[in-house]
Amino acid sequence: MRQAVVFLAVLCCVCEGVKFGQLCSGNPGNTRRTSDKYGAGHYGAPRGSRTHKGLDIKCTDGQTVYAPFDVTIQRRSVPYTDPAMATINNGILMRGAGLCFKLFYIQPVKTSGSVSKGQKIGTMLPMQSIYPGITSHVHVQMCDSSDPTGYF
């Protein structure tokens, strides 16, 4: 049991102070999506009977998406089960800096392997084709559904 406690203490210290680097080529400051006709982009924003489990970072359709720090891409990850969303239904699950997180609405360059901070990991998918007038964005969601806001 003592080993587990020590491991958890070390794991928590690894992610303390971690900040995401630039995610999208057109948004060097990781400006967040605020509100538009489809809702708000902050963690916990209402989505009908549920709440938003991520944080939306502005990104124009077609722009390059970068690794926010050195990461290992674990696998492809998708936000929807609805086939009508196929145009934007893509993303990746990554681990790095003691964090596990998903980025949605991107066409990944690859779905496994190591990537360095600032390296291209994908391209922003065409959100406007599904949600005309939305503020196009990369959705950042922690694997445990916790609030990612503190990492920005």
Helices (H), 23-103: none
The two tokens of residue 10 are 């070390």
Question: Is this model's pTM higher than 0.85 or not?
Answer: yes
Instruction: Please give the share of the chain, as a percent, with pLDDT higher than 90.
Output: 88
| C-alpha span between 146 and 25 (Å, rounded) | 26
| C-alpha span between 125 and 137 (Å, rounded) | 9
Coil, strand or helix at 76:
strand
Across 4-12, average pLDDT: 45
pLDDT band, very low/low/confident/very high, at 104 (cuts 50, 70, 90):
very high
pLDDT band, very low/low/confident/very high, at 16 (cuts 50, 70, 90):
confident
Q: Is the pLDDT of residue 5 over 70?
A: no
* Fold that domain 17-151 belongs to in CATH: Glucose Permease (Domain IIA) (2.70.70)
Mean pLDDT of the chain: 92
Going by the DSSP 8-state scheme, the letter that residue 130 receives in this structure is: T
| C-alpha span between 46 and 52 (Å, rounded) | 6
Instruction: Please give the share of the chain, as a percent, with pLDDT higher than 70.
Output: 90
| C-alpha span between 91 and 137 (Å, rounded) | 12
Are 73 and 106 spatial neighbours (Cβ–Cβ below 8 Å)?
Answer: no
Strands (DSSP E) contained in the chain are 35-36, 39-40, 46-47, 50-51, 55-58, 64-66, 71-76, 91-96, 99-104, 106-108, 113-115, 120-124, 137-142
